[in-house]
Amino acid sequence: AQKITQTQPGMFVQEKEAVTLDCTYDTSDQSYGLFWYKQPSSGEMIFLIYQGSYDEQNATEGRYSLNFQKARKSANLVISASQLGDSAMYFCAMREALDRGKTSYDKVIFGPGTSLSVIP
């Protein structure tokens, strides 16, 4: 079964500094996708960045980049130049796509999350 591990329950970072949030995963699939989501205290779940298992380049989206090390099964999120608005819960997730005949099924497995606090 697939599993996502985030070993940092809480993290603090100084404003304008960079921070790395850890994520490791376990899967026997050769093809898979990894996502990071941000959830502020208001509750909405915001998609940040995606990394495919066959992508040779690490994904980047603005201040977010993903340090993908396939052999180690890790997909760490790097946030550069932290801002106060980055304070939130961050979830690493993996999408499992299953095909059963004519129907496709999709499940997303979430890690336990990391609470990031940016200090002014």
Residues that bind another protein (CB under 8 A): 31-33, 35, 37, 42-47, 50, 52-53, 89, 91, 95, 97, 99, 103-108, 110-113, 115
CB of 38 to another protein, least distance (A): 11
Tell me the C-alpha distance between 6 and 18, whole Å: 18
CB of 17 to another protein, least distance (A): 25
Residue closer to another protein by CB (options 8, 53) is: 53
Q: DSSP for 44-92?
A: --EEEEEEETT-SSPPEETTEEEEEETTTTEEEEEE-S--GGG-EEEEE
Distances in whole angstroms, Cα of residue 48 to Cα of each of 65, 93, 117:
9, 11, 17
Residue closer to another protein by CB (options 81, 112) is: 112
Residue 112, Ramachandran bin (φ over 0: left; ψ between -120 and 50: alpha; else beta): alpha
Residue closer to another protein by CB (options 16, 70) is: 70
CB of 16 to another protein, least distance (A): 27
CB of 86 to another protein, least distance (A): 18
Count Cα atoms within 13 angstroms, Cβ side, for 30.
Answer: 0
Residue closer to another protein by CB (options 10, 14) is: 10
